[in-house]
Structure 1
Amino acid sequence: MDTVLLLTLLLFVALRVAMVAIVPPVPSKSRFELQRLAEIGDEWAKRRRRRLRFWKDIISLARLVDSLLLIAVLLIAITLFGWIVGVLVGVATLPVAGLLARTTLIQKRVRQVYRKAEAGLLGFIARHQKVLWWLRLPVPELLMPPLHSKAELEHLVETSHDAFTAEEKTTLLHSIRFTEKRVKDSMTLRPLIETVKKSEILGPLVLDGLHKTGHSCFPVTYGTIDQVVGVLYLADVLTIDTSRKHTALVETAMDKRVLYIHQDRSLVEALSILLEAHRHVLIVADDEGKTAGLLTLGDIIKALFGYRLTHQHYESNDQSAATDRR
């Protein structure tokens, strides 16, 4: 009889070691990535998502079984060795089980057994959710792997609820997506560009017409819009003496440095060009070298932050800002 109890005691101690060692493998991918893969039919991802769903139940169940085994070990030890020695033996199994559970060999064997039994265990948990809810113990939150993609970061921002204000979310989302945006996504399209001819005289009628457009910068053309020879800023026109004919020409007042960029280049490149050149306007070209649109510093800022800055320095160089207000 004592031999049977002793063998049972050793068996329960071994089971306690296994319960302590049970830690379901943490997925190498984040929840968002697992969901994305599962939605396209990845069976591996579906199994990992199911494991994550019942993670706390698995740990709680292992701890509950471990507690029952500890009680059984104490009772058997007391039966075999008496109260004092029995309690000491039972208590001694606590650190022993923990030490053995940390060994590489034990953890490897337990993982092998767990993988084989996981499907059945998860099925049992799924069928007895109501009962296990009452038995669930406090379990630390599972630390997931780092982000795998910008899409996942966007998802976290969008589902952050009250962590950010609506304006902060807009700013964050635009900032995250900024590097993926192309010039053609933010430029003012060719039909909407207001131009002025280099030969025009900046008299009262012309200046009044320019002001009424709502813009503060204009590509200067020599013939057609595909022949841009400069950029006219209304702020510069204010310093022109329009009473002197030779100084009142658009050609005289315009900025003769014209910067071009292809419509498929990134906004990051466009911003870099403007900052290096200390300019605010880029003429956008298509594959044939023709003018496809106009990109300003204000357009880039809007793409970066989600809204236009109200500072006059940026508004004054932005045709599309006026277009937006129409």
Structure 2
Amino acid sequence: MKIRDIMTTNVVTAGPDETIKEVILRIRKKNISGLPVVDKNNKVLGTFSEADIAKALPDILNEAQYIPLVDVRELTAEPIKRVMHMPAVTIGADATVEEAATIVLEKFRHRLPVVDAEGKLVGLVSLGDILKALLHKL
């Protein structure tokens, strides 16, 4: 089975200069935990997830030298390019589900943007999509 057979094509995305707050509100509204970050030409630059915020907080705090209280409003006003995962771990639509499973396990990613030969977003495949396809084969 190919990735094109299981991928989502209506993908929620964000731009690198959008704020953490804007993107958090979008992913909560859409009931997802992360999304691809794309440029104006729809080329995948990276991915953003709730986990990326937690990992980046110590760096942001040290740079900003917040002492002793942190103003969450200021932190969420930061652009997501400060905290997104780069480079993006992507996959092509013609790859197999088994190839995607290997990438997900090796890279510890919960979602893989699906890109064309130019690196432009054509879909998204999640860990859940991959597991469902693998279990269907049993």
With normalisation by structure 2, the TM-score equals 0.74
Structure number with the bigger relative contact order (C-alpha 8 A, sep ≥ 6) is: 2
Name the counterpart of 1:193: 11
User: Post-superposition shift, 1:228?
Assistant: 1.2
Please give the residue correspondences for 1:1-326 in structure 2 after superposition, counting only pairs within 5 Å: 181-189=1-9, 192-203=10-21, 205-225=22-42, 227-237=43-53, 240=57, 242-244=72-74, 248-287=78-117, 289-306=119-136
Q: Deviations over 1:219-242 (max 9, x none)?
A: 0112232x1111110233356464
Q: Secondary structure at the match of 1:244?
A: helix
**Does structure 2 conserve the Cα–Cα contact (< 8 Å) formed by 1:242 and 1:248?**
no
1:247–1:253 CA contact under 8 A, matched in 2: no
Matches of 2:24 and 2:76, distance apart in 1: 16
Query: Retained in 1: the 8 A contact 2:112–2:124?
Result: yes
Question: Kindly, what percent of the aligned residue pairs are identical?
Answer: 33
Secondary structure of the 2:114 match is strand
Q: 1:130-166: per-residue Cα shift (whole Å, max 9, x none)?
A: xxxxxxxxxxxxxxxxxxxxxxxxxxxxxxxxxxxxx
Residues 226-284 of structure 1: CA deviation (Å, up to 9, x unaligned): x1111110233356464335972201121113122221111111111221222222221
Distance verdict in 2 for CA 1:221–1:289, change over 3 Å? closer
Q: 2:81 and 2:108 mapped to 1: Cα distance?
A: 21
* TM-score normalised according to structure 1 size: 0.34
Please identify which structure carries the higher strand content: 2
SS of the residue 2:44 aligns to: strand
- CA 1:213 to 1:265, structure 2 compared with 1: closer, same or farther past 3 Å? same
Q: Give the corresponding residue for 1:10.
A: none
Q: 2 CA distance for matches of 1:224 and 1:231?
A: 16
Q: Which has the higher helix share?
A: 1
1:41 corresponds in structure 2 to none
Cα pair 1:216 1:234 within 8 Å, conserved: yes
Which string of whole-angstrom CA distances, capped at 9 and with x for unpartnered residues, describes residues 31-76 of structure 1?
xxxxxxxxxxxxxxxxxxxxxxxxxxxxxxxxxxxxxxxxxxxxxx
Over the aligned positions, Cα root-mean-square deviation in angstroms equals 2.4
Shift of 1:287: 5.0
Is there any run of 5+ residues in structure 1 with no aligned partner, and where? 1-180, 307-326
SS in 1 for 2:125: strand
What is the CA-CA distance between 1:305 and the residue it aligns to?
2.0
Q: Deviations over 1:197-226 (max 9, x none)?
A: 1101123x543232111111110112232x
1:296 is displaced (CA, Å) by 1.7
Residue number in structure 1 paired with 2:68: none
CA distance in 2, matches of 1:268, 1:254: 26
Larger Rg: 1
Give distance in 1, aligned partners of 2:23 and 2:99.
35
